[in-house]
Chain A
Amino acid sequence: MLSRTADNLYWIARYMERADTSARLLEVGSRISLMPSAHGYRSEWDSLLQASGMAEGFARKYGDPVQRNLESWLFFDRDNPSSVASCLTAARENGRIVRTALTAQVWDALNSAFQELRVLERRERSSLELSELTDWVMQKAAMVRGAIDATLLRNDGYNFLNIGYYLERADNTARLMDVKYYVLLPRVEFVGSGLDNYQWTTLLRAMGAQRAFHWAYGGEVTAAKIAEFLILNPQCPRSLTTCVAGIANHLGRLAKAYGRETGAQGRARAMLADLESESVERIFDEGLHEYLSRFIGDAAGLGGAIHEVYLSGETR
Chain B
Amino acid sequence: MTAYFDEMNGKGSGVRAPYARLQDWVGAMPVDLRTLKQAEAETLFRRIGITFAVYGEGGDPDRLIPFDMFPRVFSGAEWARLEKGIKQRARALNAFLVDVYGRGEIVRAGRIPARLVYQNAAYEKACVGFVPPKGVYSHIVGIDIVRTGPDEFFVLEDNCRTPSGVSYMLENREIMMRMFPELFRENRIEPVDSYPEKLRRTLASVAPAKCKGEPVVVILTPGHFNSAYYEHSFLADLMGVELVEGQDLFVEGEYVYMRTTEGPKRVDVIYRRIDDAYIDPLCFRPDSMLGIPGLMDVYRSGGVSICSAPGAGVADDKAVYTFVPEMVRFYLGEEPLLNNVPTWQCGKADDLKYVLDNLAELVVKEVHGSGGYGMLVGPKATKAQVEAFRLKIEDDPGNYIAQPTLALSTVPSFVAEGVAPRHVDLRPYCLVGERIELVPGGLTRVALTEGSLVVNSSQGGGVKDTWVLAE
- Which residues in A have some Cβ–Cβ distance to B below 8 Å? 1-6, 93, 96-97, 99-100, 107-108, 111, 156, 160, 254, 258, 310-311, 313-316
Given A4-B247, A100-B243, residue A310 in contact with residue B233 (CB < 8 A) = no
- Taking a contact as CB atoms under 8 Å apart, the answer to whether A316 and B247 are in contact is no
Can you list 26 A-B pairs with a CB-CB distance of less than 8 A?
A: A1-B242, A2-B242, A2-B248, A2-B258, A2-B259, A3-B259, A3-B260, A4-B247, A4-B248, A5-B242, A6-B261, A93-B224, A99-B49, A100-B233, A100-B236, A100-B237, A107-B49, A108-B47, A156-B261, A160-B261, A310-B261, A311-B261, A313-B259, A315-B259, A315-B262, A315-B263
Q: Does B141 sit within 8 A of A, measured CB to CB?
A: no
A6 to B259, CA, bound (A): 11
- Taking a contact as CB atoms under 8 Å apart, the answer to whether A111 and B49 are in contact is yes
Query: Can you name the residue of chain A whose Cβ is closest to the Cβ of B262?
Result: A258
Q: List the 10 shortest-distance A-B pairs measured between CB atoms, nearest first.
A: A313-B259, A100-B237, A97-B224, A3-B259, A310-B261, A315-B263, A6-B261, A258-B262, A99-B233, A100-B233
Q: Does B316 sit within 8 A of A, measured CB to CB?
A: no
Max chain B C-beta neighbours (<10 A), residue from A93, A97, A310: A97
A254 to B262, CA, bound (A): 10
Q: Which of B316-373 contact A (CB under 8 A)?
A: none
Chain A residues with Cβ below 8 Å from B229 are: 96
A100 to B229, CA, bound (A): 12
Chain B residues with Cβ below 8 Å from A258 are: 261-262
Query: Can you name the residue of chain A whose Cβ is closest to the Cβ of B235?
Result: A100
Q: Which of B216-250 contact A (CB under 8 A)?
A: 224, 229, 233, 236-237, 242-245, 247-248
Closest-CB distance, B220 to chain A (whole angstroms): 12
Given contacts A1-B261, A258-B262, A315-B259, 17 further A-B contacts (CB under 8 A): A1-B242, A1-B260, A2-B242, A2-B248, A2-B260, A3-B260, A6-B261, A93-B224, A99-B49, A99-B233, A100-B233, A107-B49, A108-B47, A111-B49, A314-B259, A315-B263, A316-B263
Main secondary structure of the interface of A (DSSP, over half): helix
Chain A residues with Cβ below 8 Å from B247 are: 4, 313
Max chain B C-beta neighbours (<10 A), residue from A4, A93, A254, A258: A4
Chain B residues with Cβ below 8 Å from A6 are: 261
Q: Does B264 sit within 8 A of A, measured CB to CB?
A: yes
Chain A residues with Cβ below 8 Å from B236 are: 100
- Taking a contact as CB atoms under 8 Å apart, the answer to whether B49 and A96 are in contact is yes
A156 to B262, CA, bound (A): 10
- Taking a contact as CB atoms under 8 Å apart, the answer to whether B260 and A99 are in contact is no
A1 to B258, CA, bound (A): 10
Closest-CB distance, B82 to chain A (whole angstroms): 33
Given A3-B260, A99-B233, A100-B236, residue A313 in contact with residue B248 (CB < 8 A) = yes
Max chain B C-beta neighbours (<10 A), residue from A2, A160, A310, A311: A2
Closest-CB distance, B33 to chain A (whole angstroms): 26
Given A2-B258, A6-B261, residue A99 in contact with residue B237 (CB < 8 A) = yes
Closest-CB distance, B42 to chain A (whole angstroms): 14
Query: Can you name the residue of chain A whose Cβ is closest to the Cβ of B242?
Result: A2
Query: Can you name the residue of chain B whose Cβ is closest to the Cβ of A316?
Result: B263
Chain B residues with Cβ below 8 Å from A316 are: 263-264
Given A2-B244, A100-B236, residue A315 in contact with residue B261 (CB < 8 A) = yes
Closest-CB distance, A155 to chain B (whole angstroms): 11
A100 to B237, CA, bound (A): 6
A160 to B224, CA, bound (A): 21
Closest-CB distance, B245 to chain A (whole angstroms): 7
Query: Can you name the residue of chain B whose Cβ is closest to the Cβ of A310?
Result: B261
Closest-CB distance, A153 to chain B (whole angstroms): 13
Closest-CB distance, A247 to chain B (whole angstroms): 16
A3 to B244, CA, bound (A): 10
Chain A residues with Cβ below 8 Å from B233 are: 99-100
A5 to B261, CA, bound (A): 9
A314 to B257, CA, bound (A): 12
A6 to B242, CA, bound (A): 12
Closest-CB distance, A22 to chain B (whole angstroms): 24
A283 to B264, CA, bound (A): 44
Which of B47, B245, B262, B263 makes the CB contact (< 8 A) with A4?
Answer: B245
Chain B residues with Cβ below 8 Å from A93 are: 224
Chain B residues with Cβ below 8 Å from A3 are: 248, 259-261
Chain A residues with Cβ below 8 Å from B263 are: 315-316
A310 to B229, CA, bound (A): 25
Instruction: Give 1 or 0 for each of B17-41: 1 = CB within 8 Å of chain A CB.
Output: 0000000000000000000000000
Chain A residues with Cβ below 8 Å from B259 are: 2-4, 313-315
A107 to B242, CA, bound (A): 18
A258 to B261, CA, bound (A): 9
Chain B residues with Cβ below 8 Å from A2 are: 242, 244, 248, 258-261
Max chain A C-beta neighbours (<10 A), residue from B242, B262, B264: B262
A108 to B46, CA, bound (A): 10
Chain A residues with Cβ below 8 Å from B49 are: 96, 99, 107, 111
Closest-CB distance, A257 to chain B (whole angstroms): 9
Closest-CB distance, A220 to chain B (whole angstroms): 48
Query: Can you name the residue of chain A whose Cβ is closest to the Cβ of B265?
Result: A2
Closest-CB distance, B49 to chain A (whole angstroms): 7
Query: Can you name the residue of chain B whose Cβ is closest to the Cβ of A258?
Result: B262
Query: Can you name the residue of chain A whose Cβ is closest to the Cβ of B244?
Result: A2
- Taking a contact as CB atoms under 8 Å apart, the answer to whether A96 and B261 are in contact is no
Closest-CB distance, B218 to chain A (whole angstroms): 9
Query: Can you name the residue of chain B whose Cβ is closest to the Cβ of A95?
Result: B49
A292 to B248, CA, bound (A): 37
Q: Which of B246-289 contact A (CB under 8 A)?
A: 247-248, 258-264
Closest-CB distance, A110 to chain B (whole angstroms): 11
Closest-CB distance, A141 to chain B (whole angstroms): 21
A100 to B224, CA, bound (A): 13
